[in-house]
Amino acid sequence: MAKMYIIGGTASKNVAEELSSLLKMPLAKTISKRFPDNEFYFRIIDNIKGKDVIIVQTTYPDPNLVELFIIQNAVEEAKAKKITVVIPYYGYARQDKKFQEGEPISAKAIAGLISLNADRVITVDPHKEHILDFFSTSAYSCTAVPEIAKYLKKKKIDLVLAPDKGALDRAKQVSDMINCDYDYMEKTRIDGNTVEMKPKKLQVKNKNVAIVDDIISTGGTMALAIKELKKQGAGKIYVACTHGLFASDSIKRLKQAGCNEIISTDTIQSKYSKVKIAPCIVDLIK
Ligand code: R5P
């Protein structure tokens, strides 16, 4: 009988399977389905009483968050010994403070609820590291940077660019790993849909550039950076992110701006999930 089990929610079956094979830990037998009114049903078939259980579930979009709560409860009710919750993409992390009076701290609200049935939480490239403090249980993060760098290494990149100063550290880490230069753009966010980017002279003529960020949502940030790079005569332009939310017409926006390739990890599954995240998570679990 196994000592530990992995349970993947429907949003993160891919990551759960990868972790199971890398860690040589079995996936618990479960049933998940939707009732006719779309409410979520879950059942654990294996006996997990007294076992360590790892639940893997991205919390975006919102129905996946509810799924996570239901799975956590099932694991708790089945009397697991220790519950680790792996959240490949932790949503709501961008509302990590009150930007205006009357707003919630959504990252804190969600963390509080997840902590109710978790002994340990692990997430990947949270938008801001301090959101880990919002969990009342021990919380850790790992980064997709080494795996993204490994992918970009095959592309003959001359410059890694951060679309804003906040992403500079990530760009530097990637550039160190693939041995090229790095720089950043100056971005100001106007609202959830609009960003402004100040033109900045970059040494990009005929150079292949990879723009690296934690999230692509509307694609607005990346599209502006691509346009500026195009104006300055860049060669091939790659955009890479950990979390590809790809909201509304973001893909069209990126392609129209002149992007040569869109790269994301599988924290959120899409056809752009070219980088597997599980290898970044295994060490933290061990
Ligand atoms: C913001 O600080 C983040 O790091 C990303 O730059 C942002 O979430 C991307 O959003 P969008 O694709 O909507 O511009």
| Residue 145: band (very low, low, confident or very high) from pLDDT cuts 50, 70, 90 | very high
| Residue 116: band (very low, low, confident or very high) from pLDDT cuts 50, 70, 90 | very high
| 8 Å CB contact between 131 and 89 | no
Name the percent of the chain lying above pLDDT 70.
100
Most ligand 1 atoms within 8 A of CB, residue of 96, 143, 214 to mutate: 214
Q: Find the mean pLDDT for residues 255-268.
A: 98
User: Strand, helix or coil at 233?
Assistant: coil
User: Strand, helix or coil at 39?
Assistant: coil
| 8 Å CB contact between 257 and 234 | no
| Residue 139: band (very low, low, confident or very high) from pLDDT cuts 50, 70, 90 | very high
Q: What is the pLDDT of residue 115?
A: 98
Query: Which ligand 1 atom lies nearest to the CA of residue 187?
Result: 6
Q: Find the mean pLDDT for residues 203-212.
A: 96
Least confidently predicted of 71-75, 155-159, 195-199, 235-239: 195-199
Distance from Cα 213 to the centre of ligand 1, integer Å = 8
User: Strand, helix or coil at 121?
Assistant: strand
Q: Find the mean pLDDT for residues 239-267.
A: 98
Q: What is the pLDDT of residue 188?
A: 81
Distance from Cα 228 to the centre of ligand 1, integer Å = 17
- Average pLDDT over the chain reads 96
Which residue ranges have their beta carbon within 6 Å of ligand 1? 163, 166-167, 195, 213-221
| Residue 79: band (very low, low, confident or very high) from pLDDT cuts 50, 70, 90 | very high
What does DSSP assign to residue 232?
T
Q: Find the mean pLDDT for residues 143-160.
A: 97
User: Strand, helix or coil at 272?
Assistant: coil
- Residue with structure tokens 């009483």? 49
Q: With 90 as the cut, is the pLDDT of residue 96 above it? A: yes
Most ligand 1 atoms within 8 A of CB, residue of 145, 169, 211, 216 to mutate: 216
Which residues are designated catalytic?
Answer: 187
Q: With 80 as the cut, is the pLDDT of residue 175 above it? A: yes
Distance from Cα 70 to the centre of ligand 1, integer Å = 30
| Residue 187: band (very low, low, confident or very high) from pLDDT cuts 50, 70, 90 | confident
Nearest CA to ligand 1 atom 7: 215
Q: What is the pLDDT of residue 286?
A: 86
Distance from Cα 135 to the centre of ligand 1, integer Å = 23
User: Strand, helix or coil at 120?
Assistant: strand
| Residue 197: band (very low, low, confident or very high) from pLDDT cuts 50, 70, 90 | confident
Query: Which ligand 1 atom lies nearest to the CA of residue 163?
Result: 6
Q: What is the pLDDT of residue 193?
A: 76
Q: 200 or 242: whose pLDDT is higher? A: 242
Supply 196's token pair: 């402004």
Instruction: Tell me the pTM.
Output: 0.95
Query: Which ligand 1 atom lies nearest to the CA of residue 167?
Result: 4
| Residue 195: band (very low, low, confident or very high) from pLDDT cuts 50, 70, 90 | confident
Q: What is the pLDDT of residue 192?
A: 76
Q: With 80 as the cut, is the pLDDT of residue 63 above it? A: yes
Q: What is the pLDDT of residue 3?
A: 86
